[in-house]
Homo-oligomer: A and B are copies of this chain.
Amino acid sequence: MRKKTCYIICEDNNDYRESLMAFLDEDDELVCCGSFENAENIINKINTSQPDVVLMDIDMPVKNGIEALKEIKQSLPEKEVIMLTVFEDRENVFEAVCAGASGYLLKNTSPVIIAESIRVVMNGGAAMTPVIARKALQFFQKPLKNNAPGLTAQEQQVLKLLVNGLSYKMIAAKIDVVIDTIRYHIKKIYDKLHVHSAPEAVAKAIRDKLV
């Protein structure tokens, strides 16, 4: 017989937790090895219950579910975590995905789908509803040509080289002009980016994907 998949659930709503567990217990591939109403000392909880998958609520007393997720991925990165929450805002989805959640489901998701999602995650997939998936993907659909500050071609080139760590002198040599020309461009760049130093400019360029 196939080895069962063990899961734990962290969820402060007793009714929801109990009813979900009751349903999942009907599935003969799944077995609950822990049920908690908060995520305190989540690492200890996992070490004692040894689950394959963690179902994690977000809004819980004492310890936020995303914080718990981060702790898990810090200490036990191989554990799969599926967020199970009422939130579907970009912030929470983004946080959870960045922190390494393998799934993100809403609580109104059918228990059938939740069971299926656990299987999906165990098979190396990610489990989320299409709408959540869309939100997740939107985060790294680069607004790529974010040339809002209206940098000219030369300025972009100079900024790029600056970001790559080149000094004025090196940039000048690279694009074959005098160093004063680089000063000129850099000043213009600073004005447009509203900064006053190279580190600021570099940080802004990278973060705003200007290069």
Contacts and interface: CB of A to CB of B under 8 A. Distances in A.
Interface of A: 74, 97-100, 102, 120-121, 123-131, 133-134, 136-137, 139-142, 144-145, 162-165, 167, 195, 197-203, 206-207
Residue among A123, A198, A207 facing the most chain B CB atoms (10 A cut-off): A198
Nearest to A101: B137
Contacts of A144: 98-99
A131 B124 contact: yes
B203 A164 contact: yes
A3 B126 CA distance: 32
A189 B98 CA distance: 27
Given A134-B124, A198-B199, A199-B163, A98 B129 contact: no
Residue among A129, A203, A207 facing the most chain B CB atoms (10 A cut-off): A203
Nearest to A130: B125
Copies of the chain in the assembly: 2
Contacts of A125: 129-131, 133-134
Residue among A98, A121, A126, A130 facing the most chain B CB atoms (10 A cut-off): A130
Contacts of A137: 97, 102, 126, 136
B120 A203 contact: no
A60 to B, nearest CB: 22
Contacts of A198: 197-199
